Structure 1
Amino acid sequence: MGVGLELDKLELDKCVHCGFCLEVCPTYVITRSEVHSPRGRILAVRLGVKSEGLETCVFCRRCEAACPSGVEYGKAISSYRRADATKKLAHRILENPGLLYASLKVYSRSSSPIALRIKEFVKSYQPPLQYKDENAELLLFPGCLNSVVYRSTVEKATNYLRRFYKVEVYNGCCGLPHYAEGEKERALKIAEKLREAFKGKVVVSLSSNCTAHMREMGLDVFDFAEFVVKKNLPLPQREITVTVHDPCHASLVGLNKYTREMLKRMGAKIVEMEDPSFECGAGGTYFIFNPELSRRIAEEKGRKVKATGVENIISTNQACSLALSLHGKVFHVADLL
C-alpha cells in the first residue's frame, strides 16, 4: 500500500461507526442499506472487500458535515474508487467544452442506453462562448456543462461583469468529476494547470460546486454570487418567488449564503425547502452510470421541492440544474440579471 493510501486509510479509521451519517446520505435514505451508506463503504475499505457501495456513492459528502469524528470521507474514499474506460472517456470529454458540444451532437443521433439517459436531462446545447477583452483582469469560469448546456447563463454573467471589469471567459473543467470518480491523480494535474492559468487574475466561477472543489485544491476563486455580494455590485430588482437548492459541495465551504444574500438584494422572495442541500440526483456523471439510484434520489428531491408550492428553483450548479429541471423552472442567479 502506498503512502497516500495509508494516510487515507488512517483517515477512514477515525470512523467510530456511530451512524450520524446515515440519514444525511441520499443513497442510504432511499435504499436503507448499510452497503450504500458512508460507514458501510468505510467498513468495506477497512475489510479490503469489493463492494458495490463504493460505486454507488454520489460523492455529495454531506456525511462529512454530520460526522462527529471529523472523518474527511471524500478526500479518503476518492483514493479507493477506480474509473473504468467509459468513465475516463466521459472525463476527457468534460475537460474540453468544445468536445463536449460535439459529443452531445453525436449522442443526439444515438439510441444507446447512455445516449438515451443523457437526452432525458440535456434538452439543448450550444457551442461554448469564446470571449476575451483586451488586457482582461477577470476570468469567468463557467464550468464544463454550463459552457454548452447553459450558454445563455454564461452570456448574461459575462455581459453583467463587463459593466465593471475587462473579462475573459475561460472554458474548461475543474476536475471534480475526476476526483470523485476514481481519477484523483488527474484531478490534481488539472488543478495545477488551472493554478497556472489563473495566476494574477481575479477568477469568478459560475458553478458553485466547481468553486468549492477548486478552493479545496488551493485555488483562489470567487463564486459568482459571492463576488457580486462582496464587491457590492448594483443589482436589478426582481419580483419573483423562488425556492433555493443548495449544491452539496458549496454547502461544505459556506457558499450558499451568498446566493440567498444576492436574491434578497434583488427583492426576490425565498420559500425554503426541507433540507435544501439534499442531493439533486445528478451527482456529476452519476445520473449516467447509476440511472436507477439517480432517479430515486431525484424523486426524493422532487418531493421536497413540490412541498414548497413554488415552481421557480434557484440552482447555482450546472449538473444540479439539469436534475432539478424535472421538478420546475430552474434559474441561476445570473439569469435574473
Structure 2
Amino acid sequence: MDKNNDSLDPRENNNPYDATDATERKGDVATPTNQDAAAQSIGAGSPEDLPDDTFASRSAVQQTVGIGRKTESGSFMFPAFDDHHPPEKDLIDDCVHCGFCLPTCPTYVLFGEEMDSPRGRIYLMNKGLNEEPMNDQMVRHWDLCLGCMACVTACPSGVQYDKLIEATRGQVERRYERTPQDKAFREMIFQIFPYPDRLRLMAAPLKLYQRFGVGDMLHKAGVMKLLPKRMRAMEALMPMLSEHHELPEVTPAVGERRRRVGFIKGCVQRVFFSDVNAATVRVLAAEGCEVVTPKLQGCCGALSVHAGREEEFEGFARKLIDTFENLELDNIIINAAGCGSTLKEYGYLLRDDPEYAERASAFAEKVKDVTEFIQELGPVAERNPLPVAAAYHDACHLAHAQGVRKQPRQTLKQIPGMEVREIKEAEICCGSAGIYNMVEPEPATELGDRKAKNVLNTGARMIVTSNPGCMLQIQASLKRMGHSMPMAHPMEVLDASIQGRPVESLLEK
C-alpha cells in the first residue's frame, strides 16, 4: 500500500502490516490476543498506557498506528520531533480528555475513530514528545485533520489545538519522507496557488475549457474516471470564471472620510472571485472609508503555514508586512476567512524573527475581517430591500479560528427583507480546509455532500459564505447531487443592497 495513498479511508482495512497476530477480527470488534502488540498498534508503549475500554471497538487504522520502528521504506524516524517548535508539552497537558471536541470534529464524525479526533491526535503528539518514532500511520492521522478548529471552540479547557497541529505539521514537513507522487502533487499546489500571476495564467485555458464544454464531454466519454482521484477533485472544484475587476490603488471615501484602510486582495480571491473584491471595496467606500489597495501585494502565506511550510510562510509574511506597514492605515481589511485567521496570528508566527516580530504584531493588531470591521465602525450607508431567504454558512477559519460569528449575520440582517437561515451542523466543516479537498478528496467529498444536504434542507434560495474555498466546495457538492443554488459573499449581498440592485442580480449569479 502507498503510505500516502489519497484514497485511504480509515474505515477500510488498508493495513500495510499483518495485524492478525495482535487481534482477531470479529465484525467491527477487535479482541486482543497479544496485548503488547495491540497496545503498540494504537501508539501506546505498553498495555498499561491504555484506558480500560481500549479493546472494546477498534478500527483498521487504530490497529496500525505506531506499529514498528520503521516506515514502509525501511528508514528509521527517531525521535519524532526536532527541537525547533515541537508541539508544546504544556499545551498538550491542557487536554483533560473530556471528549467535548468529539461531536464537532469532522473526521471523528465521519470515522468514529479515537485517533482521528483532536484528543487522539494530541495523544500521538505526546508520544512523539516521548520519543516515539514518527511513522506512516501517525502522520496519516495528522494529515486527515482538516485544521478547522471546531475543537478549539468546543473545548471547555481552552486547549490550543490550532497551535499544536500547526507545530506538528511543521515537524512532519521537515522530518517525514512522503512518496514521490505525493510530494510532487503537493509541490504543484504550492507552486501555483500562492502566486496570483501563475493562477492568472490558468484562467485563459480554463475559460476555453468551460466555454466549449470540454469537461462535460470528458465526463460523458468516461475519461475523467481514468484520472487519479486527486486530479478529479481538482477538476470538480474549478470555479466558473467571471469578469476580472482591477482595483484602483486608492478608492476615495463616499462623503466624509471615517477611516483609511488597507485591503488585502488574497490569491484565489483576486483571480477567481475578483467581483467579491470589487464589491468589498465599494462597500467600504460607501461606509466612509478611503481604501488603499497596493497593486504589488503577494500571498499572506495561509496555505503554507497550514501545511507546515514554515520558511515559505515567513517569506510571504515579511513581504506583505513590508507592503502595508508604511501606508498610515487605521486598519487592514480582509474578506477571505482562511487568510484572515493567519494574518491575525502574524505576531505569534513570526515571534522568532528579531527584525519582524514587533512589526508583525503591530500589523496583526490592525487586521479585521470586513464584516467585523463594518459592525465595529457602525454602518451608515443606506440599505435597500433584498427580499430573499439566504442560508449562511460559517467558514471555519472565520467562526472558529477568529471567533467571528455574529458580525456576518448582523451585516445580512441589517438589510431590509433579508432572512438569514441557519444550517444544521453549522460547526462541522464543509471539507474545503485550504488544500484538504485536493489532497484528501474522499473525506472532503463526504463532508461537502453532508453540508450541501443541510443547505438544501434550509429551503433557502441562496447561500452566503465568507470564504472562496467554501464556495467552491459546496458548489461542487451541489452539482454532484444534481442541484444548483446561487452563492454569494456577504459583501456582494451588502453591495447589491447599498447600490439598490434587485435581488435577481444575486439569484442569477
Q: Tell me the TM-score normalized by structure 1.
A: 0.89
* Whole-angstrom distance in 2 between the partners of 1:198 and 1:211: 15
Moved more, 219-228 or 316-325: 219-228
Map of 2:157 onto structure 1:
69
Deviations 1:262-308 (A, max 9, x none): 11111211111223232011111111110001011112212321221
Structure 1 residues 221, 44: CA separation in 2 closer, same or farther (over 3 Å shift)?
same
Amino acid at match of 2:415: M
After TM superposition, give the deviation of residue 233 of structure 1 in Å.
Answer: 3.6
Q: Secondary structure of the residue that 1:102 maps to in structure 2?
A: helix
Map of 1:234 onto structure 2:
381
Please say if 1:290 is aligned against 2:436: no
* Whole-angstrom distance in 2 between the partners of 1:23 and 1:249: 18
Deviations 1:106-140 (A, max 9, x none): 67589754443222122323686443345984322
In structure 1, runs of 5+ residues without a counterpart are: none
* Whole-angstrom distance in 2 between the partners of 1:13 and 1:134: 49
* Whole-angstrom distance in 2 between the partners of 1:244 and 1:44: 35
Q: Secondary structure of the residue that 1:222 maps to in structure 2?
A: strand
Map of 1:259 onto structure 2:
408
Matches for 1:7-46 after TM superposition, within 5 Å: 8-46=88-126
Moved more, 91-100 or 17-26: 91-100
Across the aligned residues of Structure 1 and Structure 2, the Cα RMSD in angstroms comes to: 2.6
Matches for 1:24-173 after TM superposition, within 5 Å: 24-48=104-128, 49-50=134-135, 51=138, 52-81=140-169, 82-83=172-173, 84-103=183-202, 105=204, 113=228, 114-125=230-241, 129-133=245-249, 137-163=260-286, 164-170=288-294, 171-173=297-299
Matches for 1:165-314 after TM superposition, within 5 Å: 165-170=289-294, 171-199=297-325, 200-201=328-329, 202-218=331-347, 219=364, 220-231=366-377, 232-237=379-384, 238-252=386-400, 253-267=402-416, 268-314=418-464
Does the CA contact (< 8 Å) of 2:431 and 2:444 recur in 1?
yes
Deviations 1:187-221 (A, max 9, x none): 24433332222213232111123222211224121
* Whole-angstrom distance in 1 between the partners of 2:490 and 2:291: 19
Structure 1 residues 178, 240: CA separation in 2 closer, same or farther (over 3 Å shift)?
same
* Whole-angstrom distance in 1 between the partners of 2:457 and 2:315: 43
* Whole-angstrom distance in 1 between the partners of 2:488 and 2:392: 10
Does the CA contact (< 8 Å) of 2:86 and 2:168 recur in 1?
no
* Whole-angstrom distance in 2 between the partners of 1:235 and 1:190: 38
Q: Secondary structure of the residue that 1:309 maps to in structure 2?
A: coil
* Whole-angstrom distance in 1 between the partners of 2:311 and 2:156: 29
After TM superposition, give the deviation of residue 149 of structure 1 in Å.
Answer: 1.6
Q: Secondary structure of the residue that 2:422 maps to in structure 1?
A: coil
Q: Secondary structure of the residue that 1:243 maps to in structure 2?
A: strand
After TM superposition, give the deviation of residue 2 of structure 1 in Å.
Answer: 4.5
Count of aligned positions: 337
* Whole-angstrom distance in 2 between the partners of 1:78 and 1:65: 17
Structure 1 residues 92, 233: CA separation in 2 closer, same or farther (over 3 Å shift)?
farther
Moved more, 136-145 or 93-102: 136-145
After TM superposition, give the deviation of residue 248 of structure 1 in Å.
Answer: 1.0
Report the structure number with the largest CA radius of gyration: 2
After TM superposition, give the deviation of residue 173 of structure 1 in Å.
Answer: 2.5
Structure 1 residues 105, 33: CA separation in 2 closer, same or farther (over 3 Å shift)?
farther
Q: Secondary structure of the residue that 2:403 maps to in structure 1?
A: coil
Structure 1 residues 37, 234: CA separation in 2 closer, same or farther (over 3 Å shift)?
same
Alignment equivalent of 1:320, drawn from 453, 463, 470: 470
Amino acid at match of 1:331: A
In structure 2, runs of 5+ residues without a counterpart are: 1-80, 129-133, 174-182, 216-223, 253-259, 348-363, 479-484, 496-509
After TM superposition, give the deviation of residue 5 of structure 1 in Å.
Answer: 3.3
After TM superposition, give the deviation of residue 174 of structure 1 in Å.
Answer: 2.3
Structure 1 residues 144, 168: CA separation in 2 closer, same or farther (over 3 Å shift)?
same
Amino acid at match of 1:123: P
After TM superposition, give the deviation of residue 85 of structure 1 in Å.
Answer: 4.5
* Whole-angstrom distance in 1 between the partners of 2:273 and 2:291: 18
Structure number with greater CO (CA < 8 Å, separation at least 6) is 1
Does the CA contact (< 8 Å) of 1:132 and 1:167 recur in 2?
no
* Whole-angstrom distance in 2 between the partners of 1:65 and 1:4: 27
Moved more, 162-171 or 238-247: 162-171
* Whole-angstrom distance in 1 between the partners of 2:399 and 2:250: 35
Please say if 1:334 is aligned against 2:491: yes
Does the CA contact (< 8 Å) of 2:265 and 2:277 recur in 1?
yes
Amino acid at match of 1:148: V
Structure 1 residues 116, 126: CA separation in 2 closer, same or farther (over 3 Å shift)?
farther
Q: State, as a whole percentage, how many aligned pairs show the same letter.
A: 26
Does the CA contact (< 8 Å) of 1:98 and 1:127 recur in 2?
no
Does the CA contact (< 8 Å) of 1:9 and 1:76 recur in 2?
no
Does the CA contact (< 8 Å) of 1:138 and 1:203 recur in 2?
yes
* Whole-angstrom distance in 2 between the partners of 1:156 and 1:126: 13
After TM superposition, give the deviation of residue 7 of structure 1 in Å.
Answer: 5.3
Structure 1 residues 222, 265: CA separation in 2 closer, same or farther (over 3 Å shift)?
same
Q: Tell me the TM-score normalized by structure 2.
A: 0.61
Does the CA contact (< 8 Å) of 2:196 and 2:270 recur in 1?
yes
* Whole-angstrom distance in 2 between the partners of 1:255 and 1:271: 17
* Whole-angstrom distance in 1 between the partners of 2:203 and 2:249: 29
Q: Secondary structure of the residue that 2:428 maps to in structure 1?
A: coil
Does the CA contact (< 8 Å) of 1:127 and 1:147 recur in 2?
no
